[in-house]
Amino acid sequence: MTLRAFAIMVTLLTCYRCAWSQQSNLPVLLREGRQALQADDFSRAAHDFTQALQIAPENLEANRGVLLSDLQIGRFEEAVRVGRAAVAKWHDDADLQHWLGLAYFKTGRNSEALICLRAAERLAPAHADVPFDAALVLLSDTNYSEAAIELEKSIKLNSNELNSNSALAHVLLGRAYQNTNRTLPAVEQFRIALRLQPDVSLGHYHLGFAYASLGRNQEAIAEYEKELQHSQHNPTVLYQLGHCELEAGMLERATEHLRQAEQLDPGNADAPYDLGKSLLMQGDAAAALIPLRRAIALRPTDPGAHYQLARALEKSGNKEEAARELGIFAERKKTQPATGGMAAGPVQ
C-alpha cells in the first residue's frame, strides 16, 4: 500500500468514526431535548434539538423540537424558517402546521397563520388548542363572527377537561359575542368564565361592560369594582367605572374615578369629556372648563365636547365664547357619520 493510499484510508476511517459518533449521540440529544421541554427549560431544549437537527436534518422529532423551542423562547423568525422547511417535508404533520401557524401569527402574518391553523384543524380535528389559537388570530383581525365559531369548537372539544385556557376561552367567546350584538350570550360566557376561574384576567371587566351595554349600570358598577381589586391601576377599568357612575347619577364617585383614569391615560379623550360633564352636573362650571378643553384638544372633531364646553362657558358667564362653541358644535354635528348601536368596548 502506498503512503498516499494509506493516508486516504485513515482519513475515510476518521470520517466514518466521526459520523458514527454523531449518529450514536443523536438519541441522547433527543432524549435530553424532551426532558428540557418537560422541565420548561426551553433554551436548553433549543440547544439540544438544534444539535440533533444538524446531525439528522431528516429527523422529524428534531425538527419539531427546534420549532417548538424557538416559539417558546421568542425566536419567531427562526421558528418560521425552521417551520417552513419542516412543513415542506412533512405536510401532513398537525403539530408542525399548528406551530408554524403560531410562528406566523407572532410575526404578524395572519393570513399565512390561518392557512396553517386550518390545515392543522383538518389533520387533528380533536385538538382543542388549534381552534383556540385560530380564534386568537381572528380576534386580532376583528373577525368576531369566525372567532366565535372557532372558540365554540374549542370549548366543545375541551368540555371534559379544564386547563389554563378554559376560562379564557369563555372570556374570548363572550367578547366575540359582545362585538356581534349578542350581549345576553356574552353575559353567560363571562359568568361561566368567572365560575371556572374567579380571578380570570378582565373577566369582571368584560361582564361589567356587557351589563353596561344593556343599561344595567348598578350591576356593571359592581363588576367593575370587583375587577379593580385585581387591576387597581387599569385606566380602562377606572374609566368605565366612572362612566357608569356618571350614568347612574353617582357624581362624586364618578369624578374621583374619572380623574384617576385621566391621570393614568392622558391620551384618552373620553375621560376628560366625562369628567367635565360630571363637574358641570355638580354645578362647578368653572372646574368643568379645563377637562372639556383637554377633551377637545385630544379629539377636536367630537361635537359633544364642543356642546358641553358651550354649556360650561355659558354658565360661567362667557356668552360670546359659548356661542362660538355652539356654532362649532352645529358644524361638527352635520359632518359626523351615523353610528350603529353595537356596544364595542376596548379590546384587552
What structural domains does the chain harbor? 27-124 (1.25.40.10)
177: alpha, beta or left? (left if phi > 0; alpha if psi -120 to 50): alpha
Question: What's the CA gap between 312 and 254, in Å, rounded?
Answer: 18
Alpha-carbon torsion (186, 189, 193, 194), positive or negative: positive
Q: Please give the angle made by the CA atoms of 88, 92 and 95, to the nearest 5 degrees.
A: 90
Band the pLDDT of 165: cuts 50, 70, 90.
confident
pTM score of the predicted model: 0.83
Note whether 96 and 64 are within 8 A (CB).
yes
Segment 34-73, tens digit of pLDDT: 999 999 999 999 999 999 999 999 999 999 999 999 999 9
Segment 136-158, tens digit of pLDDT: 999 999 999 999 999 999 999 98
pLDDT of residue 99: 98
pLDDT of residue 23: 57
Which triple of cell numbers denotes residue 38? 418537560
